[in-house]
């Protein structure tokens, strides 16, 4: 018994409660991001929604343990953001949108080089009206930074392709969309491949007009 107690005391000294909580928070964050991706891959809306809600719950548990964990905030952003996107990307709930952006900003505050968060932030800056914090010029700069630092980025290329298409620069848009499709197929991102193919098909149609 004394030996067991001695081992427990040693463990408590070497691995304090904060360290154990941090590890648990990381595990929960990883599970939340995995759940979010499973939701993206699902076909049925009900299944997708359940996965996104579970991702949100796991992320919130992770942040209860460690609010300084960037990946936990990004997991929360993923769960909340995908729920809003499933609802048609409605901006009717300003509170919901505010919470999503807050989770994203907190991620970048804790990890300024979090490329997935940078890509998401750039997309918000490009698509949101200035009244809600949009800044297309800054967003485009961030997208180019993401692509430079991560040559396999898919989201950043798709958003940048849409920017060029809106300007009538269809050649540049097709190059970006083609590369985005290649990377989506290489990474087996079944949740993104249809979207990129649709964008590329539209660009090819416009090019023939």
Residues 158-179: pLDDT tens digits? Answer: 999 999 999 999 999 999 999 9
End-to-end CA gap in the chain: 83
pLDDT at 85: 85
Q: Encode burial over 26-47: b for 16+ CB neighbours within 10 A, e otherwise.
A: bebbebbbebbbbbbebeeeee
Residue 168 has what DSSP assignment? T
Measured CA to CA, the distance from residue 92 to residue 98 in angstroms comes to 11
In order of their start, the domains of the chain are 17-112 (no CATH), 133-209 (1.25.40.10)
pLDDT at 37: 95
- pLDDT mean across residues, the chain: 87
pLDDT at 5: 40
Residues 50-82: pLDDT tens digits? Answer: 999 999 999 999 999 999 999 999 999 999 999
Which residues of the chain register pLDDT less than 70? Answer: 1-23, 88-95, 209
């Amino acid at each position: 018994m004394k030996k067991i107690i001695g081992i427990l005391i040693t463990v408590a000294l070497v691995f304090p409660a904060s360290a154990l909580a941090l590890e648990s928070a990381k595990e929960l964050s990883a599970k939340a991001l995995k759940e979010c991706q499973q939701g993206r891959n699902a076909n049925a809306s009900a299944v997708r929604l359940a996965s996104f809600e579970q991702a949100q719950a796991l992320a919130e548990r992770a942040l209860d343990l460690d609010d300084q964990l960037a990946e936990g905030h990004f997991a929360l952003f993923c769960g909340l953001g995908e729920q809003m996107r499933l609802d048609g990307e409605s901006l009717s709930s300003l509170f919901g949108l505010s919470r999503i952006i807050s989770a994203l900003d907190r991620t970048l505050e804790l990890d300024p080089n979090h490329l997935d968060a940078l890509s998401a932030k750039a997309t918000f800056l490009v698509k949101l009206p200035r009244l809600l914090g949009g800044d297309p010029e800054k967003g485009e700069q961030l997208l180019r930074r993401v692509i430079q630092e991560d040559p396999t980025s898919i989201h950043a290329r798709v958003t940048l392709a849409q920017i060029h298409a809106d300007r009538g620069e269809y050649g540049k848009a097709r190059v970006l969309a083609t590369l985005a499709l290649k990377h989506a197929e290489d990474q087996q991102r079944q949740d993104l491949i249809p979207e990129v193919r649709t964008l590329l098909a539209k660009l090819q149609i416009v090019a023939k007009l």
